Structure 1
Amino acid sequence: MSFDDYHLYRTSYRADDNRPGVPANIFNDWPVVYVITNDEDIYIGETIHVGTRLEQHRNTNIKLQDMEQVRVIANDAFNKSACLHLESWLIQAASGDGTRQVKNTVTAMKESSYYQRELYARGFPGVYRQLKDEGVFTKELEDVLNSEFYKFSPFKALQKDQADTVRAILTRIFAIDFATQRASNSPATTIVISGEPGTGKTIVAIYLLKALRDIAAWEDEFIHDDDPFADFYTPKNKAIASKLVSCLLMPQSALRTTLAKVFKHTPGMENIEIRSPLKVGRETDDASLIGEHNAFDGQTGKSPLKQYDILVVDEAHRLRQRSNYGSMNGEVKKVLASLGEDPETSTITELDWVQRRSSLAILLLDPQQAVRVSDLPDDVVANTIAQAKREGLFFSLAQQVRVKAVAAGPLATAHNPHQLQTQDQPGQYGASVEHLPSYSEYVRAIFSLNDDPAPTAYTNYELAIVDDLADMLSLIKDRNDTFDLARIVAGYAWPWERNKVKARKRRKKDPNYVMPDYDWKIDGIPLRWNSTIEDWMGSDNAINEVGSIHTVQGYDLNYAGVIIGPDITYDPVRETVAFGGREHFADTGATRGTKNNPATDEDIFNAVLNAYYVLATRGIRGTFFYVCDDALREHLKKFFPVLASPADNRIVESDPKQTTSSRPGNTVDFAPQSKPALFDFGVEALPAKR
């Protein structure tokens, strides 16, 4: 019996009795995964009785009436759990490949941990490549898994906390009388979903919108009992979902562009709007989209403004308070006037806009990812969360689905020789693993004004401080050649000298002005900020540029090389991180503050700390740090391994068994990266490029 010995059988979707090429025992009584296709569409399922299931599809699923080919995937060692795993994996791969439109409902995605899962998963890439050889897929698997279509696809098998959250919200949605809500003209009911970086907040938002579209499009076709959301497919819910006017609101323009492409690529989501806060606030009604759902301009009684039943707000911590919008101040005043506010004195926030433009507002947020002073005030966020908790409308996501780092034990270093102190029975490395911080918790504590965390070692993850910037640039390019999506990112400690708007202004003053080839230098190395805001991650020259916080927030990387600028230092007297001063902070948009309350140094420093927290939690496989400030670099060496052999440009994962006092300091050696280590990443597996 071989776990990775998969067999592929072919037959016609139209055949009734005799199915050549498919053994009778597999066709009638064996757990399998099946793939149904025509030139444009694909449907993937699993069953024990494939013959019976195909007959159900032909008789009840009108979406599959034009299908032509069936491919049955079998394995002598298959069981139900392995089939569910492969089914989900292939659905996600098909969505990322994009050769055909995926006809599955998003709620059919399901899988779980099971015995010998990693052994079965080893064979999944081979199944994909077999199907690619037959023309079912066209892209290489590594390109699929690194694509934005895969990463932001709604076709995900949700973690338990994600699934529980979606179920509770769907239950709430189908209990609301939206007609009464609209007529009342009262502020929206507000649901809050909170989670640290990498807990899948964006996926929950996308999944929820797709689930509503799937329920609305349901035509009484067969929904299998093991679909975890099968009970929502009812005529009553279909009628409600069909009338809902929903929108995804995304404060960051980069993510709006990316998600618009994903939605256009995903059946049923093509017409879901993705809006900025300003556009939601000011746009007039399009009757073809929302029918009679209007909120009328309170100033003129004319020009109906769009009213949504549901506004899903991702990265809601990036909504703004009343502040200087620069060139958009005039538009903001129009929005305020339409809401019955005094455009000159009103202090309502973009959160108020959302709540007045919708019946149900669903906010996905992490207060510690607010990276501008003009983002929502802490007290507004805290009050919103508190109210949601009182009303039973607060949900927390805790399962990490991005960063693969696993806390394994104490990190003993030359800078910090003490071991973790716990009251629990010491584990293999001297501490209870259950009480070690997650990687994101660890980074949050380091980049904060709170007490330092105990130095912790992490496995399944490449993590190091690099003393020489040239070495880190080389290291990231090496990882990009091997895995793709490795990028250099930095705090906003240097001005954007290559800004085209600034260049035009300078040429007016000096006709001989020539835009420089770089934005700043470190140790004589010229560096350039990202040349585009939208879709920078996948742009051709991204590997030669540096991404800012406003370009990378909300995205995943395989590896991140984080440049920590002089905007953050270390105070050895107070024994804490400290603000490097406004002269080292170049994000002018982050310093505008509110209209009558200019930003303080404390405000700016909190935004700086949050920005580095976000940058340090982008990497799936690893994170490297280059630190400009000498004192801060030495301080951080208490908490992270240090690159030992930069000339070799190779590194291994931190191993707590190798970070004891028997090694010099907290250095880590290098090892070749021609092949990735085998971890059970399941559908998140990211193979090395071939």
Structure 2
Amino acid sequence: MFKIETYDYSDKNIDDLGISYEYHCVYILENGKDAYIGETNNPIRRVKEHNSDSKDNKNKKYNFNKVHIITGLLAEETPAKHYENLLIKLMKVDQRFNIVNRNDGEKPHYYRKNEFELEFDKLWGKLVENGLAKTKEFELIINSSTYKYSPYTVLTEAQQKTLTSIVNTIDSGETLPHMENYKTRPILIKGDAGTGKTVVATSLFYYLKSNQRYRDKKIGLVYANSSTRSEMQEVFKNTKGLSKKDIISPIAVTKQHYDIIICDEAQRLRRGKNLGKYYVNFKIGNERLELDNNHDELDWILNNSDCQILFFDEKQSTCPSDITCELFIERLKNNKRGIRPIKLDEQMRIGAGSSFVPYIYNLLYQRANEVKSFNDYEFKLFTSFSDMVKLLEEKENDVGLCRLCTGYAWEWKGREDNTSTDISIEGINIKWNSQTSGWLSNQDAKREMGSIYTLPGLDLNYTGVVIGPDLFFDKTNNTISVDRGNFFDSKVKNGATDEELRKYILNTYAVLLTRGIKGTYVYVCDDNLREYFAKYINIHIC
């Protein structure tokens, strides 16, 4: 971590300040109005030089009377120069002080740059605490209302820090190529389900469109998933200053060049595999940018925009058409591009807290080595499907936004014949979701079964998850296994190996199991698999 030490001084007492650093640090000289930023391994010498009567000294006229010395991870010259460069650029934008540096210092590029950039995000908050930077103006812009997904949503401290880090990175020019023949560096924000990536994405878009420096820029907010895109278009349609047209699909990026692209749920960007009817549009998108079909939607964003902000959670990849995590990261790091990493790790959606999402993945991937309980959160396993349906209906009447959902373990018979029953469990007949876009807001669809195509990226108050017959517990091999005969999503199944299919199905259920804000109810069709889950989830008692 960082330490900021502040010293008051005059020309006469510089030697008495007791500053004795023999390693590199960053310092800020200021007089309340003007400031100079530098790096050194001898701050006493540098303070004297800035206050000397030499005719070459341009800073004497400012009468600096305070020096703030920043130490911590800056003991080496290269990261210290990097922080000096960032602070000069960003404090000029921040305007707490008139920055008098005549240049921006050096912009070094080195092996551990990402590590030090992540730490810089923490340093900026300390500067604000110490009065050396202003609270970023976006806090005043966006903290005016509190409705879900709105760019006006009041952000948590962690979300505000993430937003600050993104804006600081753009303002500092850190995404620009650091030398000839290199390409722009995308900003990559990683976070688990429920850490508020969508809220940060919409708040970022609103901030940029409302800010004088960016309002003339061509900016788009991309969603690959049509149902999430539809939900966000409705939010933006009803938000003053924004438009439904601001929320775009990946293929829209191929139609015109963008200054800034924000892509939420970037793990859903597609490659040319298992695309079905969309393959026609996929080819058209590549043709527009004069790319062959070995390229994909990530290429469209990288090739037709100047700055990219990508929100990413590899664990929510649920389909072979998704660009694999390995390919996604390799493309950025090994293509003379690199990434600017930012972490978002505070659980915001799920009332169970930050340990819930890892616990779900540990259960599904059989890595759990202890039973966890979650205070003030209803996480229950049901042995009776009718009991789960009844309780979920009660919750719907009480708080609303409660839905059933499952994996693609039943045929969609109603697609051809709307009188047919799609799903039958314990004598209860249910239809698949009648629509993907806008399903949550359709009150007539409350008794339908949701799917991975209707719910990713969205919140429910209570979720009733049915783990269907596509999964079973193989007691011989002590493994959660896939029954291909009971899995009916051809876009996922075709061409996928058994291990790949298992990963996609497990990730699908993980996504569904992490939608609930107040509670998650689970019913398991396979008896042996229910027995396995009963070791880790409390059974509901009527």
TM-score, normalization by structure 1? 0.55
Question: Could you tell me which residue of structure 2 aligns to residue 456 of structure 1?
Answer: 372
Question: Could you tell me which residue of structure 2 aligns to residue 440 of structure 1?
Answer: 357
- Matched-pair contact (CA < 8 Å) for 1:462–1:622: yes
Question: Could you tell me which residue of structure 1 aligns to residue 207 of structure 2?
Answer: 211
Is it true that 1:319 corresponds to 2:269 in the alignment? yes
Question: Could you tell me which residue of structure 1 aligns to residue 423 of structure 2?
Answer: 520
Question: Could you tell me which residue of structure 1 aligns to residue 197 of structure 2?
Answer: 201
The one-letter code matched in structure 1 to 2:486 is H
Distance 1:185 1:259 in 2: 37
TM alignment of 1:280-429, pairs within 5 A = 280-281=253-254, 283=255, 306-342=256-292, 346-383=293-330, 393-406=340-353
CA pair 446-268 structure 1, distance change in 2 beyond 3 A: same
Distance 1:632 1:353 in 2: 42
Is it true that 1:570 corresponds to 2:473 in the alignment? yes
- Matched-pair contact (CA < 8 Å) for 2:185–2:338: no
Q: 1:560 aligns with which of 434, 438, 463?
A: 463
CA pair 392-351 structure 1, distance change in 2 beyond 3 A: closer
Q: 1:247 aligns with which of 205, 208, 220?
A: 220
- Matched-pair contact (CA < 8 Å) for 1:442–1:453: no
Distance 2:221 2:251 in 1: 13
CA pair 369-271 structure 1, distance change in 2 beyond 3 A: closer
TM alignment of 1:649-664, pairs within 5 A = none
Question: Could you tell me which residue of structure 1 aligns to residue 248 of structure 2?
Answer: 275
Is it true that 1:107 corresponds to 2:9 in the alignment? no
Question: Could you tell me which residue of structure 2 aligns to residue 156 of structure 1?
Answer: 153
Question: Could you tell me which residue of structure 2 aligns to residue 547 of structure 1?
Answer: 450
CA pair 376-392 structure 1, distance change in 2 beyond 3 A: closer
Distance 1:373 1:349 in 2: 13
Distance 1:558 1:388 in 2: 42
What secondary structure sits across from 1:551 in the alignment?
A: coil
Distance 1:472 1:388 in 2: 50
Distance 2:189 2:267 in 1: 11
Is it true that 1:481 corresponds to 2:397 in the alignment? yes
Is it true that 1:170 corresponds to 2:202 in the alignment? no
Distance 1:386 1:638 in 2: 41
CA pair 485-109 structure 1, distance change in 2 beyond 3 A: same
**Offset at residue 166 of structure 1 (A):** 1.3
Distance 1:447 1:187 in 2: 39
Distance 2:194 2:335 in 1: 22
Distance 2:245 2:435 in 1: 25
What secondary structure sits across from 1:213 in the alignment?
A: helix
TM alignment of 1:580-599, pairs within 5 A = 581-592=483-494, 598-599=495-496
Distance 2:344 2:435 in 1: 32
The one-letter code matched in structure 1 to 2:268 is R
What secondary structure sits across from 1:453 in the alignment?
A: coil
Q: Which moves more between the two structures, 332-341 or 198-207?
A: 332-341
The one-letter code matched in structure 2 to 1:444 is Y
- Matched-pair contact (CA < 8 Å) for 2:163–2:200: yes
Distance 2:335 2:442 in 1: 40
Q: State the identity as a percent.
A: 33
**Offset at residue 329 of structure 1 (A):** 2.6
Question: Could you tell me which residue of structure 2 aligns to residue 492 of structure 1?
Answer: 408
- Matched-pair contact (CA < 8 Å) for 2:194–2:348: yes
TM alignment of 1:48-59, pairs within 5 A = none
- Matched-pair contact (CA < 8 Å) for 2:405–2:449: yes
Q: 2:236 aligns with which of 252, 263, 281?
A: 263
What secondary structure sits across from 1:310 in the alignment?
A: strand
TM alignment of 1:216-231, pairs within 5 A = 216=212
TM-score, normalization by structure 2? 0.70
What secondary structure sits across from 1:361 in the alignment?
A: strand
The one-letter code matched in structure 2 to 1:251 is A
Distance 1:175 1:196 in 2: 27
Is it true that 1:641 corresponds to 2:538 in the alignment? yes
**Offset at residue 561 of structure 1 (A):** 0.5
**Offset at residue 603 of structure 1 (A):** 1.2
**Superposed CA offset, 1:240-294 (max 9, x none):** x13311101101111111111111211222265211112323x3xxxxxxxxxxx
**Offset at residue 532 of structure 1 (A):** 1.3
CA pair 446-601 structure 1, distance change in 2 beyond 3 A: same
- Matched-pair contact (CA < 8 Å) for 1:189–1:359: no
Distance 2:244 2:531 in 1: 52
Residue correspondences, number: 403
**Offset at residue 387 of structure 1 (A):** 6.7
- Matched-pair contact (CA < 8 Å) for 2:165–2:342: no
The one-letter code matched in structure 1 to 2:386 is A
Distance 2:400 2:431 in 1: 20
- Matched-pair contact (CA < 8 Å) for 1:530–1:542: yes
Distance 1:618 1:389 in 2: 37
**Superposed CA offset, 1:58-93 (max 9, x none):** xxxxxxxxxxxxxxxxxxxxxxxxxxxxxxxxxxxx
**Offset at residue 642 of structure 1 (A):** 0.3
What secondary structure sits across from 2:198 in the alignment?
A: helix
Question: Could you tell me which residue of structure 1 aligns to residue 514 of structure 2?
Answer: 617
What secondary structure sits across from 2:532 in the alignment?
A: helix
**Offset at residue 492 of structure 1 (A):** 1.1
CA pair 582-213 structure 1, distance change in 2 beyond 3 A: same
CA pair 529-479 structure 1, distance change in 2 beyond 3 A: same
Question: Could you tell me which residue of structure 1 aligns to residue 113 of structure 2?
Answer: none
CA pair 400-109 structure 1, distance change in 2 beyond 3 A: farther
**Offset at residue 108 of structure 1 (A):** 1.5
Distance 1:460 1:572 in 2: 34
**Offset at residue 357 of structure 1 (A):** 1.1
Distance 1:168 1:272 in 2: 27
**Offset at residue 110 of structure 1 (A):** 8.8
What secondary structure sits across from 1:534 in the alignment?
A: coil
Distance 1:110 1:474 in 2: 40
CA pair 392-339 structure 1, distance change in 2 beyond 3 A: closer
Distance 2:427 2:174 in 1: 64
CA pair 386-460 structure 1, distance change in 2 beyond 3 A: farther
**Offset at residue 625 of structure 1 (A):** 0.4
Distance 2:267 2:398 in 1: 35
CA pair 106-264 structure 1, distance change in 2 beyond 3 A: farther
CA pair 494-483 structure 1, distance change in 2 beyond 3 A: same
- Matched-pair contact (CA < 8 Å) for 1:248–1:272: no
The one-letter code matched in structure 2 to 1:521 is S
**Superposed CA offset, 1:105-135 (max 9, x none):** 8522799xxxxxxxxxxxxxxxxxxxxxxxx
- Matched-pair contact (CA < 8 Å) for 1:196–1:398: yes
CA pair 155-476 structure 1, distance change in 2 beyond 3 A: same
Distance 2:398 2:493 in 1: 39
**Superposed CA offset, 1:650-676 (max 9, x none):** xxxxxxxxxxxxxxxxxxxxxxxxxxx
